Structure 1
Amino acid sequence: MLVRLSRLFGLAVVAVTLASCAQLQYPDRTSTHTDDFGTPVGTQEVRDGGDLVMGLSSEPDRLDPTTSSSFYTRYVMSSICEKLYDNDSSGNLVPQLAAALPTVSEDGLTVTIPVRNGIKFADGTNFDAAAVQTSLQRHLTMKTSQRTSELGPIDSIEASGPSEVVLHYKKPFAPITAALADRAGMIMSPAALAKEGANFGDHPVCVGPFKFVKRVPQTSIVVERDPLYYDAKNVHLQTITYRIMVDANIRAANLRSGDIQVADYISPQDADALKKDSKLRLLQTRSLGFMGVYLNLGNVDGVGKPTKPIDTPLAKDARVREALSLSIDRSALVDTVFNNWYEPMCSPILPQSTFATPTVNDCPKYDPQRSRQLLAAAGVQLPYHMKLVVQTSQDRLRYAQAMQASAASGGFDIEIVPTEYSTMLDMQKRGDYEAMLLGWSGRIDPDANIARFMTTKSSGNYSGYSSPVADDLLGQAARTTDTAKRADLYAQVVQQIHKDNPYLYTYRERLLTAHSTQVTGVEMYQDGVVRLGKAAFLTDRS
C-alpha cells in the first residue's frame, strides 16, 4: 500500500508551524518586525523585457548543484535550475518539476516520484524520469558531491517509466522530500552532463525561467530568458545580472541610486533607513538558518575523510570548547552589533518549529569566571590564543570583534583572520582552519540542519566531529515518521552537541532584502533564497 509522503512523513509544514511548547531563555527579538515575503506579479501591469541587476553580497561558488556549498549559488540556481520540489511562502513543500508529492511504501523503503511531462531543458533535451535518475545518481555517487548525505541511505535509483522515478532505500528516510526541495532536487540536462562532466558548473544547463549566459569571476553572472521554459509566458525580464558587491554600504548606495534594483543581505545598520525610503521595499523574514563558530576537531584530510587527532587543547579537550561557549555573551553581542534585528540562539531547531521542545533552545549563561575555571582545569596557559576565520563583510567582522572582546573576559585571545567567502568555503572543506565563523541558511526539515554537519563522515561534517551517540540518535530521527518522537530525538542530539561543542551556535538572522518599487514579483521566503524568476518592471505610468 502506498500513502502520500506529505501525510506519512508530516513534512509539509514541519519547520514553520508554531509550537506552543517552545521556550527560549532569551526573549523573541524579532517579534516587533513584520514578515514581508514579497508578492507575485498577479494582475499588476508590467512590461515585457528589461534587464534587472541584483547586488549579490558574496560570489557564489561553481554553479553545480552536486558540488556547490555556497548559499549565494542558490540565488542564481533558483533562476536557471528548478528542483523536483520547492518551498512556498507558507513553508509548505510543493511540486515543481515533480508532478505530485512522492508516495512511499508501508515499510518506508520505496519512494516513488512522479515527474512532469512535456518539459525541455534549456538545450532542448527532453526532461523525463531518466534525466532525473541521472542527476540523482550523480548527486549520490560523485566523489566531490555535497549532496550524498542529504539523499539518505539509498540502495538504488531507477526510472520505472518515462514519468516515474523510484528510490529504493536500505532504511527509511523521512527527510527526503525536503532534501529534494533544495540542490539535491535540482535536475541537470543529461546531454550537458555528458558533454561537460566535472566542468558542468562552468556551463550549467537545467530547466528554469532563465538560462546561463556568462560569468566574469568576482564580478558578475548573467542569465537570460529561456524561450523553451514550460511557463515562459509568465517570465517577463529579458536578463538578470547578478553583480558581486561585497560591501553592504555600496549595495545600499547603488540601490538608492537605481544602479541596481535588488540587493540581498541588507545590513541591520542600513535596514531602518531603507525601510523608510518610499522608493524601496524591504522584504524580511525570520531565517530557517543559524550562525555560529565551527571548531575543527578532526578534519585533517578534508571533509568526509576519516578524522585524525589535532594536537591543540581546543580540538582535544571539551572543557576548552565549553569555556569558549560560556565566554560568548550572545544576548549582548546581538544587541550591540545588529540593532535588535537578529536574535541570540544556541540550537539548530527553530523555536517556532513543531520540533522545538522546552529545553532545545536553552542557551548557556554567559559566565566568564566559569570559563576561566574550565581553562585552568584543562591546564592551558591564559590567555588561550586561537585563530578565528571570518568573512570579509562589515557585519561579520563587527560581530567577530565584539565576540573577541567578550571572550577576552573568559580567558581567550582570539585572533581574527578576515577571509573572502569563497576562500572560506575551500578552507572549510579542506579542514584548513582552527575556528571559523560561518552559518547555514537552513532547511525546512531539521535533519538537513543537523545530520549534514554532525554525522560521522558526512559530506558536510566540516568540524570532523564523530559521536556514536549523535550518529545513533540522528539515524533514529531520520527513520521515524512521528513528529513528537523526532522532536525528542533531536532534543537529545542538541544536548550531545552542547556537551561536545563542535559548533557553537550564536545567533539567528532576520533575512533582509530590498528592491526598487519599480520592480515587482521579487519574493523571498524563510529558506533565504531571493526568487527573481517571475519578477518584472512595472509599466511606466508617468
Structure 2
Amino acid sequence: MKIADRQLTRSWLVAFGTALFSLSQLGCQPIATGNRLTVASAGKISSLDPAQASTVNTIQLLSALGDPLYSLDGNGELIPRLAEASPIVSPDGLTVTIPLRRDVLFHDGTRFDAEAMAFSLRRFLEIGTLSYVVGGRIRSVEVAADHQLVLRLSRPSTSLEGLLTSVNLTPVSPTAYAQHRDGFLHDRFVGTGPYRLTDFSEHQQRLEPFEQYWGEPPANPGLDLITLSNSTALYGALRSGEVDVLLSPSIDEDQRHALHEKAQEGQLLEAIGPATEIGYITLLSNVSPLKDPLLRQALALSINRQEISERVSYGLRRPLRSLVPPSISGARSSSWPAHDPTAARALLNAAGFCSGQPLRIPLTFRSNVPADKLLALTWQAQVKRDLSDCLVLELDGVESTTIYRQLGEGAFKAVMLDWRGSYPDPEAYLTPLLSCSSPQGDVCLEGEASISGSFWSTKGLQETLNRSDRLRGAERNRELQRIETITAKGAAYIPVWLEAPRAWSQTSLEQPRFDGSGHLLLAQLRELS
C-alpha cells in the first residue's frame, strides 16, 4: 500500500471517528455504574462454556471467572492454582497424579474436589469441540482420593504441563452443570474464580467479586466487560474516558499505533503481554495449481515480512518465519526462507509461468479483521512490483465466520488467518495445523491439517510430532526444529507476523499486567489510591 493511501485512510478514520464519537459515548454511559471498572473490546461472546470457548474475548472472560489447575507466571514458570503442588509423573510417563487444594468453593457454594475436577475433564473429553487441546493424550480420568486426581495417558507427553494451564480445562460445578453433562451451557458459568458472573449478554457481562474466593481477592469492586461494534467507537470511548481499559484485538492498526504513541507520551498506560499470536497464510495443497510444492515455495519467497510489518502495523507486529512463537521454549525463528523475489521468479519460470503467463492466485482475507486487508494489499503491491509478469494475487474479502465454516471444505486457495495456542507450548501450535490421522502421500485426508484448510502432510510427519512430545530439553528442541524445517519445505503455511496482546488504560489506574499465557490480569486492575 502506498504512503499516500495510508494518509488518506488516516484522514478518513479521523472524520469517521468524529461522526461515531457520540455513538460510542451513548453506548458506554449506561454501562459504567458504581465503582466498577469498565473493560472494553470488540466481538460478541456467544457461549461461556469452556468446552466450546475459542475466541480471545471468551478465554479472557473465563480466566477471571474460573481457575485452571496451574498457571504460568510472567517468566513462564508453572504455578499451582487449583492444584496444591506440581504434577507427579510416573517413570513410564503414562500416569500423572495431581494433588488438589482443599479450600476451594464453586460460586454456587459447592465444594471443589477430585470428583468435581474429574467431572469437568470427562465432560470436556466427551463434548469438547476443541479436540486439538487434548489431542488424544488423556486416556482416562480417575479419582484416587478426595483431593487427588489421576490422569492415565495414551502416550507420554512433555507438553501435558502446559495443557494443564489451559482455560478450556477450568472446572465447573457438577451441581450447576448436572443437566449439561452432555450439552453446552452458553449463558451461565459457575466456576471457582475470583469473580462470579451476575449478568450476561453477548455484548455485556457484569462481574462481582466472589466473597468466598480461596485466593487473593480482586483489587477492584467489580468489572463491566463490554463490546462495541467497531474500532473507532472503542478508540473514542477510551479517549473520552468512558471506559477504563481497552483490549487490543480488533483495533485498527492506525488507532493501535495512536494509542501506543499516547502511552509513550504519558497520556495512557500500555500493557504488553507475551507474543503468542501468529498471523499466517494457509495454502490449499491438495488441488492444482498449489498442489505443486514449488509454486507454494515461490509464494513464500515473494512476501517481504519486514515491509509488511512496517507498512501495516508500524512495526508493532514483528516479522515471523516460524509457526511457533520464538518466546516459547523449543521454537526456531527462521525456518521459513526470507524474501527473495529472484528465487521466486526462478521457481515460477521453471513451472511454466512468467513472460506474459502469470500464475493467478485468489487471496482471501477476513473482511472484518482490520489488519488482514492491509496485509493483503501490501503483499499484492510487493508482488506487482517484484513479479508482475510471473504472479498475480487477486484479493477477495470474506467475513471471518464464513471462512472458518468453509475452511475444512477446501474453499480457499490462499487464506489469511491467525492462531493463538490454547497453552504456551509448541505442541499447541504444531498439532492444530499439522496433525493428520489419515495421511496419503502428501495429502491429509482426515485430521487437523484438513480442518485447517491446507490438507498437507508428508511421510513420517505425524510420527515425528508424536516423538517430539515424548522428549525434553535439547533433544526435544532438535526434533521440533526438524518439524519446522520439513513444514517450511512443504510450504503449505506461510507465517507472516507475531503479535503480542496489548491493553491500554487510563492513567488513574495502576499499570495493568498480563500473565504468562497472555491473559490480562483482570483481578489486579485497580484505581490509584
The TM tier, using the shorter chain, reads 0.7 to 0.9
Map of 1:272-291 to 2, 5 A cutoff? Answer: 272-291=260-279
* SS of residue in 2 equivalent to 1:404: helix
TM-superposed deviation, 1:530: 1.5
Structure 1 position 178 matched with structure 2 position 162? yes
Residue 430 and residue 384 in structure 1: after superposition, are their counterparts in 2 closer, same or farther (change >3 A)?
Answer: closer
Equivalence for 1:398: 374
Equivalence for 2:456: 465
Q: Which runs of 5+ in 2 are unaligned?
A: 1-32, 438-446
Aligned with residue 325 of structure 1, among 271, 280, 300: 300
TM-superposed deviation, 1:288: 2.6
Distance 1:239 1:356 in 2: 36
* SS of residue in 2 equivalent to 1:519: coil
Structure 1 position 446 matched with structure 2 position 426? yes
Equivalence for 2:72: 87
Aligned with residue 375 of structure 1, among 348, 362, 365: 348
TM-superposed deviation, 1:107: 0.9
Distance 1:296 1:176 in 2: 31
Structure 1 position 161 matched with structure 2 position 117? no
Deviation track 1:275-303 (CA, whole Å, cap 9, x = no partner) reads 13434201124403321112244xxxxxx
Aligned with residue 523 of structure 1, among 494, 513, 519: 513
TM-superposed deviation, 1:99: 1.2
Equivalence for 1:256: 239
TM-superposed deviation, 1:261: 0.9
Is the CA contact (8 Å cut-off) linking 1:59 and 1:422 kept in structure 2? no
Distance 1:216 1:100 in 2: 37
Is the CA contact (8 Å cut-off) linking 1:441 and 1:527 kept in structure 2? no
Distance 1:514 1:258 in 2: 12
Equivalence for 1:19: none
Aligned with residue 505 of structure 1, among 490, 495, 498: 495
TM-superposed deviation, 1:56: 1.0
Structure 1 position 133 matched with structure 2 position 133? no
TM-superposed deviation, 1:488: 0.4
Letter of the 1:413 partner, please give it.
V
Residue 58 and residue 136 in structure 1: after superposition, are their counterparts in 2 closer, same or farther (change >3 A)?
Answer: same
TM-superposed deviation, 1:87: 1.2
Residue 194 and residue 412 in structure 1: after superposition, are their counterparts in 2 closer, same or farther (change >3 A)?
Answer: farther
TM-superposed deviation, 1:420: 4.3
Distance 2:367 2:149 in 1: 40
Deviation track 1:380-427 (CA, whole Å, cap 9, x = no partner) reads 652413131325233332122112222344444334343444554444
Letter of the 1:341 partner, please give it.
L
Letter of the 2:246 partner, please give it.
A
Letter of the 2:379 partner, please give it.
M
Equivalence for 1:41: none
Structure 1 position 239 matched with structure 2 position 218? no
Distance 1:430 1:166 in 2: 39
* SS of residue in 1 equivalent to 2:85: coil
Structure 1 position 413 matched with structure 2 position 396? no
Is the CA contact (8 Å cut-off) linking 1:84 and 1:98 kept in structure 2? yes
* SS of residue in 2 equivalent to 1:198: coil
Equivalence for 1:10: none
Distance 1:455 1:365 in 2: 26
Map of 1:264-275 to 2, 5 A cutoff? Answer: 264-265=247-248, 267=253, 268-275=256-263
Structure 1 position 103 matched with structure 2 position 88? yes
Is the CA contact (8 Å cut-off) linking 2:318 and 2:498 kept in structure 1? yes
Structure 1 position 115 matched with structure 2 position 100? yes
Structure 1 position 188 matched with structure 2 position 168? no
Moved more, 446-455 or 270-279: 270-279
Deviation track 1:12-66 (CA, whole Å, cap 9, x = no partner) reads xxxxxxxxxxxxxxxxxxxxxxxxxxxxxxxxxxxx9722222213334532222
TM-superposed deviation, 1:376: 4.4
Give me the CA root mean square deviation.
2.7
TM-superposed deviation, 1:328: 0.8
TM-superposed deviation, 1:449: 1.8
TM-superposed deviation, 1:168: 0.9
TM-superposed deviation, 1:355: 1.9
Aligned with residue 348 of structure 1, among 305, 310, 323: 323
Letter of the 2:184 partner, please give it.
N
Distance 1:451 1:474 in 2: 8
Residue 519 and residue 395 in structure 1: after superposition, are their counterparts in 2 closer, same or farther (change >3 A)?
Answer: same
TM-score, normalised to structure 1, is 0.80
Is the CA contact (8 Å cut-off) linking 1:150 and 1:448 kept in structure 2? no
Which protein has greater RCO, CA pairs closer than 8 Å, 6+ apart? 1
Distance 1:234 1:60 in 2: 23
TM-score, normalised to structure 2, is 0.82
